[in-house]
Amino acid sequence: MKLYKRNQTRKINIGGVIIGGGMPIAIQSMTNTNTKDWKATVKQIKQLEEVGCEIVRVSLPDMESAYNVSKIKKNIKIPLVADIHFDYRIALEAIRQGVDKLRINPGNIGSKDKVEILVKEAKKAHISIRIGVNAGSLKEVHNFHDNASRVKALANAAMEHVKILEKHDFFDIAVSLKASNIDTTIQAYRIFASKRNYPLHLGITESGSIFSGTIKSSAGLGIMLYDGLGDTVRVSLTADPVEEVKVAYSLLQSLELRSSGIEIISCPTCARTQVDLIKIVSDIEKRVSTIKNLRKLSKPIRVAIMGCVVNGPGEAKDADFGIAGGKVEGVLFKNGEIVGKVKADKWGQKLVSMIKDRLSDILQE
């Protein structure tokens, strides 16, 4: 894996997953079930685990939801984060129930005494706290109409909350400074990163549907990640959270920061294409998504699916293997060299079986 020069941040432990200090950028998501329904919440978290989610957050809007934390924890494998606003008693209950991290803004939970109690309990339980400032819910941000002032207000809000925890000698902190505007978000993160070295949870909030949200998140997060910022990411999409995890892996893989297991290289098609390449690639992606253990690969298996033999193998020369199209059959190639032929209706089957073979070879090594 290629590593960009990443910001040196403090390491924190989230239920066994370490973020910061150059550790792999952890992928997280959030459930959208009603946390009062713990079975439905566990079911969704298991789906997230299947696609490689490494940290999961649940909202605890009320005490009844907080009472479910231990039941949820017992039935999942990844660290659990509780998202709480205003009511410190819900946060205390989440700690009692064994949550791995809190997302709470200490400036919103009332008096100094309440913060003190909360910090004391978080320390005792060895859990971390994310301060997550969000432009959408900060009136200090809305008071301004120019971007520079909004950025400053967002960064200042994060700093104010951080200082409260620091005053109580609490440093196991992660921070996010999210806005739906990319420029506001990036600038706020940059300002914060110049002042403190707490690990950063990156995200562009309210970014939209799978299509527009993926583009917006990739543009915003891509710039920050390339700059070396970010220790954990959540891609926010108005969609099944499983999609958030898939997009996050794809994004990190495209920057060579994480591997999602398989990298599919496919051509855009042109007048030389003689097969229905769009359908073939989509079928193969579906088949590949069901293969287990792909996340155990430290570098991706690169599979090329190309529309013609003229340029296909050459264009995909970095691939481990692949198929390039002819009308009736495609040529099979490895490392840019042609090694055989495959009938057009067997491409998916052939490539998936080669991926599985390669995977089991690598895992046995």
CA gap 162, 191 in Å, rounded:
14
Residues 6+ apart with CB under 8 A from 294: 260, 261, 262, 288, 359
Question: With respect to ligand SF4, which residue has the nearer C-beta, 12 or 267?
Answer: 267
Cβ at position 136, least distance to ligand SF4 in Å: 42
Cβ at position 348, least distance to ligand SF4 in Å: 18
Cβ at position 266, least distance to ligand SF4 in Å: 8
Question: With respect to ligand SF4, which residue has the nearer C-beta, 159 or 267?
Answer: 267
Cβ at position 21, least distance to ligand SF4 in Å: 42
Question: For residues 79 and 15, is the Cβ–Cβ distance under 8 A?
Answer: yes
Place of tokens 């370490």: 18
Residue 343 class from Cβ within 10 Å (0-12 exposed, 13-18 middle, 19+ buried)? exposed
Question: With respect to ligand SF4, which residue has the nearer C-beta, 45 or 308?
Answer: 308
Question: With respect to ligand SF4, which residue has the nearer C-beta, 95 or 303?
Answer: 303
CA gap 223, 114 in Å, rounded:
38
Question: For residues 28 and 57, is the Cβ–Cβ distance under 8 A?
Answer: yes
First to last CA, the chain: 18
Element of type H or E holding 329:
strand 329-334
Cβ at position 142, least distance to ligand SF4 in Å: 48
Question: With respect to ligand SF4, which residue has the nearer C-beta, 230 or 307?
Answer: 307
326 in helix, strand or coil?
Answer: coil
Q: Residue 120's closest CA among 190, 57, 193, 169?
A: 169
Cβ at position 324, least distance to ligand SF4 in Å: 7
Question: With respect to ligand SF4, which residue has the nearer C-beta, 177 or 281?
Answer: 281
Cβ at position 338, least distance to ligand SF4 in Å: 14
| Main-chain phi, psi angles of 287, to 5 degrees | -65, -40
Cβ at position 277, least distance to ligand SF4 in Å: 7
Question: With respect to ligand SF4, which residue has the nearer C-beta, 36 or 272?
Answer: 272
Question: With respect to ligand SF4, which residue has the nearer C-beta, 172 or 315?
Answer: 315
Give the strands of the sheet with 262-266, arranged side by side.
262-266, 301-306, 321-324, 329-334, 337-343
Question: With respect to ligand SF4, which residue has the nearer C-beta, 12 or 305?
Answer: 305
Question: For residues 154 and 192, is the Cβ–Cβ distance under 8 A?
Answer: no
Q: How far is CA 126 from CA 25, 64, 76, 166, 270, in A?
A: 21, 24, 20, 16, 57
Cβ at position 310, least distance to ligand SF4 in Å: 6
Using CB under 6 A, list all residues that contact ligand SF4: 267-270, 272-273, 306-308, 310-312, 315
Q: Which residue is nearest to ligand SF4 (CB)?
A: 307
